[in-house]
Structure 1
Amino acid sequence: MPNKRTVAIGFIGATLDRVGKGASRWNYWRPSVGLCQQTDLPIHRLELIHGLDARDVSLAERVRADIQQISPSTEVRLHPMSLRNPWDFEEVYGALHDFTTAYNFDTEHEDYLVHITTGTHVAQICWFLLTEARYLPARLIQTSPAKRKNDNEPACGTHALIDLDLSRYDRIASRFASKRLEGLEFLKSGIATRNPAFNRSIEQIERVALRSKAPMLLIGPTGAGKSFLARRIYELKRNRHQMQGRFVEVNCATLRGDGAMSALFGHVK
């Protein structure tokens, strides 16, 4: 079977790809252009996402022309994308999710790379999440400028590939899983049990406690351990820097009349 074609996907660098004017632009490192100058990683097609205003369209056209000049075998496809706020996580993630859903991936004949050097930090995070979740059957590629001995050397920079399927990432994921298990054991207070209902309840409590800032209500009969579990939840959230202040325990069964408001909220003379 012949070698697969390499396809890169990424945003145009609104700042980095715009550096330099006229012939002087070749003296600067431009990530989208430099990506297609890597001698050991030929890019057969670049899917370049850009904004809709005239300035962004003009930049995208110039970058495409420059890439065709230094790498004639690279096809550059321009993809205009409307983003009112490129720093809005929900909007950017939704737009990129729609892009990946509509894209016709051909993993049998093509290898895909996601260029995470360009775009806002929000876009870079969204690229990572979509790739990690396998909405993008791709590896990440990061480019960076390299020191040149003289101005006659091409400003192509260097690149690094990040494969989220590698064992290094698996070790990172296992560390997160280990931390979650520590949280579950902390809530259980070291009590080993095979009771599926109890274990399921603790897992739900741990999930809600660490992912939500909403108040939690624990219900159950007297002596079930609600107060003890509430303290453990408080300590777990405080250890994860999600809560400050001290734990205050109030026996509501003892509250009577006017003293209830003072006990719960304090009072001044």
Structure 2
Amino acid sequence: MGLTVVSILGTNLDRRGKQVKRWEKWRPNVALCQQEDLIVDCLVLLHEKGYKKLAEQVKGDIAIISPETEVVFHEVNFTDPWDFEQVYSELFDFSQQFQFKTDQHEYLIHITTGTHVAQICLYLLTETNYLPGKLFQTSPGNKENPTVGKYQIIDLDLSKYDQIASRFHQERKEGVDYLKSGIQTSNHEFNKMIEQLEKVSVLSEEPVLITGATGAGKTQLVKKIYDLKKQRGLLSGNFVVINCATLHGDKAMSTLFGHKKGAFTGAITARNGLLLEANSGLLFLDEIAELGLDEQAMLLRAIEEKSYLPLGSDNEIKSDFQLIAGTNKNLNQMVIEGVFREDLLARINLWSYRLPSLKERIEDLEPNLDYELNKFAKKAGHLVSFNKGARDKYIEFAVSPQALWNANFRDLNSSVTRMATLSEGGRISQSLVEEEIIRLKDYWSDGVSANSDPKLNAIELLGEMAANEIDLFDQYLLLGIRQVCQNSKSMADAGRKLFNQSRLNKRSTNDSHRLKQVLQKYNLSFDDVSQ
């Protein structure tokens, strides 16, 4: 495979002395053809119109020291060699006009000559593969070999550089750990999601949709995303958060988009609105499903065009913000029902992540328990920990089916706060844990629980995503089956109760098999529903 070098004529570096004296100086485009271990088959020399004579001289000198090298001229027009837009356009045009034959030639892009602007443009065009090659850099030699110098080939596939790849890996690991608040989680799906979310947070400015049950940690995660982007210099503006469930009528429009003085009754002064406050920053619209259709339409325009009209105003406002939306509702179903705009969902759904509930990643309860203890200790100013027996007892209950964790991590935070506040000398005793277990059981039994609510029951058995995909009929069916199974001695006993009439019309009955078939439809076993 032949080797072709693309290079810009150095109007100063390639013009070094007159006549024979020029051979005493290092000239980049001549020197690159003098390397013993680098055979250049073709040098594509980019030059401006007024420097054709110098280009011819370089070509003639290369013919002397490397007769096997073909020199091909390509004229460029750098009207202002320090104008980035003009230089980039000219070099981009070259990349489109030149017939690159990557199956026959290897290409090196020489970035030693030309202005710094031209060198940057060559780098950018190579990085984006408009110039399909590797970067090539030459430099003067030492006293013993001043004219030939040395060279370096730079492959922009950074994964091939062990030290750089290691640095990238470490930075990504730190980013992932940061998004998880340093909690060493074990749930595979959650960890996989956070790893991708870290990459998206750094590389994308597009909207992100985060779904999940109330208390799953959406707001805390979004705040971490903002902090991570701010640390990496990707944002300079504010972190602005609003729960859309608190917005109604004119207040919703005014809060989000601002208003002009006198736009509605009570609008005594003008207001900027949260979208403008989030300019160059991040806007988190939690419970976005609660927005009205009018607000949804204005938000869509603001996302796509980065501009909108404040309430009562004829003058557009511009705001370049990144949007993260949160919801615990099924937006696809809301689109079907006509209460959420399909075009807005399509726009905010490019990156969509569902935060699992605490019950769905119960293996992560213990590290989250330690996190909550440390958080309380920082706030209180003193260390808090469990007695050995107390910790075991609390975790045993916390991971059992009795622990509903209806409010997810909010329940866990409240539980730890109560025990830590009542602890003597910063030690949570077994008696405190026993009191807290009773308190939690009472709290969950007073409210709606999976024992009485068909949706919560389906979520507990199937997970939130699968529960959202079954009909209300199936949800009630599962609730009834579970209630019967929990009060039955065996699967056969439960089957006799559930099929108490139809079994009378059968010559032979296998109630266990009939119940097993029903449960298999939902990928459940008797053990799943009898606990």
State the 1:144 CA deviation: 1.1
CA distance in 2, matches of 1:219, 1:106: 46
Corresponding residue to 1:66 among 61, 68, 83? 61
Q: State yes or no: 1:228 paired with 2:220.
A: yes
Evaluate the alpha carbon distance shift between residue 117 and residue 204 of structure 1 in structure 2; reply closer, same or farther with a 3 A threshold.
closer
- Asked if the contact 2:107–2:132 (Cα under 8 Å) also holds between the matched residues in 1, the reply is yes
Corresponding residue to 2:36 among 19, 35, 39? 39
- Asked if the contact 1:51–1:57 (Cα under 8 Å) also holds between the matched residues in 2, the reply is yes
Q: Give the TM-score normalised by structure 1.
A: 0.68
Pairs aligned (count) = 253
Evaluate the alpha carbon distance shift between residue 218 and residue 69 of structure 1 in structure 2; reply closer, same or farther with a 3 A threshold.
same
AA partner of residue 82 (structure 1): N
CA distance in 2, matches of 1:34, 1:231: 54
Quote the sequence identity (%). Answer: 46
State the 1:223 CA deviation: 5.2
CA deviations 1:10-56 (Å, max 9, x no partner) are 1111321123234322221110011112233232221111123x1x2
AA partner of residue 138 (structure 1): G
Structure 2 match to 1:238:
230
Q: State yes or no: 1:8 paired with 2:5.
A: yes
Q: State yes or no: 1:124 paired with 2:119.
A: yes
Evaluate the alpha carbon distance shift between residue 132 and residue 169 of structure 1 in structure 2; reply closer, same or farther with a 3 A threshold.
farther
Corresponding residue to 1:138 among 126, 130, 133? 133
State the 1:206 CA deviation: 0.8
Structure 1 match to 2:107:
112
Structure 2 match to 1:157:
149
Structure 1 match to 2:76:
81
CA distance in 2, matches of 1:40, 1:217: 51
CA distance in 2, matches of 1:42, 1:180: 40
Corresponding residue to 1:186 among 178, 184, 191? 178
CA distance in 1, matches of 2:9, 2:93: 18
CA deviations 1:189-245 (Å, max 9, x no partner) are 4465626996699458614xx665x9x898989756554244313321332245579
- Asked if the contact 1:49–1:79 (Cα under 8 Å) also holds between the matched residues in 2, the reply is yes
CA distance in 1, matches of 2:106, 2:192: 45
State the 1:71 CA deviation: 2.5
- Asked if the contact 1:34–1:156 (Cα under 8 Å) also holds between the matched residues in 2, the reply is yes
Q: Which runs of 5+ in 1 are unaligned?
A: none
CA distance in 2, matches of 1:79, 1:218: 49
AA partner of residue 121 (structure 1): H
- Asked if the contact 1:231–1:247 (Cα under 8 Å) also holds between the matched residues in 2, the reply is yes
Give the SS at the match of 2:20. Answer: helix
Give the SS at the match of 1:25. Answer: helix
CA distance in 1, matches of 2:177, 2:196: 13
- Asked if the contact 1:27–1:155 (Cα under 8 Å) also holds between the matched residues in 2, the reply is yes
Which stretch shows the higher mean deviation, 91-100 or 243-252? 243-252
AA partner of residue 230 (structure 2): R
AA partner of residue 20 (structure 1): G
CA distance in 2, matches of 1:258, 1:218: 35
CA deviations 1:51-81 (Å, max 9, x no partner) are 23x1x22322222122223323321111112
Alignment of 1:88-103 (within 5 A): 88-89=83-84, 91-103=86-98
CA distance in 2, matches of 1:238, 1:165: 26
Evaluate the alpha carbon distance shift between residue 154 and residue 145 of structure 1 in structure 2; reply closer, same or farther with a 3 A threshold.
closer
CA distance in 2, matches of 1:141, 1:110: 15
CA distance in 2, matches of 1:31, 1:20: 14
Evaluate the alpha carbon distance shift between residue 95 and residue 173 of structure 1 in structure 2; reply closer, same or farther with a 3 A threshold.
farther
CA deviations 1:96-132 (Å, max 9, x no partner) are 4443344333445433322222223343344444445
Please tell me whether Structure 1 or Structure 2 has the larger radius of gyration of its CA atoms. Answer: 2
Which stretch shows the higher mean deviation, 7-16 or 117-126? 117-126
- Asked if the contact 2:176–2:195 (Cα under 8 Å) also holds between the matched residues in 1, the reply is no
Q: Which runs of 5+ in 2 are unaligned?
A: 248-254, 256-265, 278-531
- Compare the two structures and name the one with the higher helix fraction: 2
- Asked if the contact 2:175–2:198 (Cα under 8 Å) also holds between the matched residues in 1, the reply is no
AA partner of residue 52 (structure 2): V
CA distance in 2, matches of 1:251, 1:105: 54
CA distance in 2, matches of 1:45, 1:217: 48
Evaluate the alpha carbon distance shift between residue 178 and residue 90 of structure 1 in structure 2; reply closer, same or farther with a 3 A threshold.
farther
Give the SS at the match of 1:64. Answer: helix
AA partner of residue 18 (structure 1): R
- Asked if the contact 2:201–2:229 (Cα under 8 Å) also holds between the matched residues in 1, the reply is no
Evaluate the alpha carbon distance shift between residue 211 and residue 97 of structure 1 in structure 2; reply closer, same or farther with a 3 A threshold.
same
CA distance in 1, matches of 2:236, 2:6: 43
Evaluate the alpha carbon distance shift between residue 234 and residue 161 of structure 1 in structure 2; reply closer, same or farther with a 3 A threshold.
closer
Structure 1 match to 2:161:
169
Instruction: Considering Cα pairs closer than 8 Å and 6+ residues apart, tell me whether 1 or 2 has the greater RCO.
Output: 1
Evaluate the alpha carbon distance shift between residue 224 and residue 165 of structure 1 in structure 2; reply closer, same or farther with a 3 A threshold.
closer
